Amino acid sequence: MVSALKYYLGIDTSNYTTSAAVCSEDGEVIAMERRLLPVAQGGCGLRQSDAVFAHTKQLGEVVSRLRAALPEDAEPIAVGCSTRPRDVDGSYMPCFLVGRCNAMTLSAAASVPMYEFSHQAGHVEAAIYGSGAEQLHGKRFYAFHVSGGTTELLEVSEDGTIECIGGSADINAGQLIDRVGVMLGMHFPCGPELEALALRGIASGVSLPERPRVCVRGLECNLSGFENKARQLLDRGVCAEAVAMYTLEAVALSLAGLRDGLIAMHGKAPVLFSGGVMSCSLIKPKLAGDGMLFAPPRFSADNAAGIALLCRARHIGGKKHLRDN
C-alpha cells in the first residue's frame, strides 16, 4: 500500500506578492503558487493597509490552488510562515500578520506545529535550493538580496545567522526599476516589462545613450541619481528602449561594484544572488563569475519555497540552515 504524501507548507505575505509552497519529506519543492498584489495604474507600490487587505482576499485562493495540486490524501507535517522582513530587532511590516494568522489557523486545524522565519531568510534559502547550492548549508558565505524593498549585501555565518554588511545607501534597485518603469507608462511592478523593453531595444540595434557612472564606495552604493538621469534622458528625447537599457545597466554595474568591493575586502567566497531583481537576464551576465551563484526566476522573485524548506529543516531538528525563532 502506497503511503500518503506528507508535506511542509510555507506561506509568505510580502509587500508585493501572496505566496504559498510545499516541499516533501525529502526536501523537494513539489508545488508553488503566487499572486501579485494589485496596484493601480501609475502607482509605485501599496500602503501597508492596502497590502494587508489584498493578502486577506488572496491568500485563501492561493492556498486552495496549492492544495488542489496535491493528492487528496496528502497530509501536512508542519506549517512555516514569514513574520518579518529581516532577522533584526524591530523588523516589522503589518502585511506579514496576514500570513502568520492564517498559518496559526492551519496549524491548529491540522494539529501540526508552526514555525516562524524572516522573509529575507526565505529568499536566501529559496536561492540556495534553486541554484543547487545546498553545500552552502553550515558554511560561511555572502548573499545579495536585491528587490523592490531591499538592496543588501549579507554575510551568512556557519550557524545561519544573517548580517547586513552593505548595500544601497538610498533607494533600492527594485525601486529604481519600478520608478523608471512607471515613468515610461508601465504597470507596477515593472521589472519584467522594463526588461522586455530593453531586450527589444538590444535586438533592434539601439545603443546605450551613455555609460552609467556608478557611485560605489566599498560595500555601499547610491542608486537614486539614476532615476533623475532617466528622466533627463527622456526629456532629451532619448527613446524608451534606451532608457530601459540604461537603467538596467546602472543596476548591474552598481551590483558588480559591490561584488568587487566584497572580494577586495573579504577575499573570494561563494556569493549567492537572491531577490526579484536577480530574475533579470540582463543583470546576471554582469555579475557572473567563479563562485557566483544564481537561482532561476521562480526561486528569485517573491516565493514561499524557502519558507517551506526552512520549516522542514527546523522541524526535523537538523542543523538550522538560516536563523529562525
Residue 148 DSSP symbol: S
- Residue 149 sits in the same domain as residue 103: no
Dump pLDDT digits (tens) for 212-232: 999 999 999 999 999 999 999
178, 93: one domain: no
Q: Which residues pair with 168 in a beta bridge?
A: 221
CB 173 within 8 A of CB 254: yes
Do 270 and 311 sit in the same domain of this protein? Answer: no
C-alpha pair distances (Å), 295 with each of 12, 56, 143, 243, 280: 18, 29, 12, 27, 11
Cell match 523537494: residue?
28
Classify residue 294 as exposed, middle or buried by CB count within 10 Å of its CB (0-12, 13-18, 19+).
buried
pLDDT of residue 319: 44
On whether residue 1 sits in a domain, the answer given is no
Distance, CA of 256 to chain centre: 18
Angle at 238 between CA 235 and CA 242, to 5 degrees: 130
Q: Are residues 190 and 280 in the same domain?
A: yes
Domain co-membership, 88 together with 160? no
| 191 and 287 together in one domain | yes
3-class secondary-structure state, position 318: coil
* Residue 197 confidence (pLDDT): 98
Coil, strand or helix: which one is 124? helix
Residue at 322 is within a domain: no
Contact, 159 vs 320, CB < 8 A?
Answer: yes
Residue 98 pairs in a beta bridge with none
Share of the chain above pLDDT 70, in %: 97
Q: What confidence tens digit (pLDDT) does each residue in 24-73 have? A: 999 999 999 999 999 999 998 899 999 999 999 999 999 999 999 999 99
**pLDDT of the residue at 325:** 45
- At 170-211, the pLDDT tens digits run 999 999 999 999 999 999 999 999 999 999 999 999 999 999
Instruction: Give yes or no: residues 121 and 150 share one domain.
Output: no
Q: How many domains does the chain have?
A: 2
Kindly report, residue by residue over 256-268, the tens digit of the pLDDT. 999 999 999 999 8
Range of the domain at 44: 6-131+301-316
pLDDT attached to residue 318: 53
Q: What CATH number does the domain containing 248 carry?
A: 3.30.420.40
Does 103 fall in a domain? yes
User: pLDDT band at residue 3, thresholds of 50, 70 and 90?
Assistant: confident
Question: Cα–Cα distance between 2 and 33 in angstroms, integer?
Answer: 26
DSSP summary character for residue 270: -
**Same domain (yes/no): 87, 117:** yes
* pLDDT given at position 133: 97
The owner of cell 568587487 is: 260
How many angstroms separate the CA atoms of 302 and 18, rounded? 8
- The pTM assigned to this predicted structure is 0.95
Residue 323 has pLDDT above 60, yes or no: no
pLDDT at 1: 55
In a domain, 325, yes or no: no
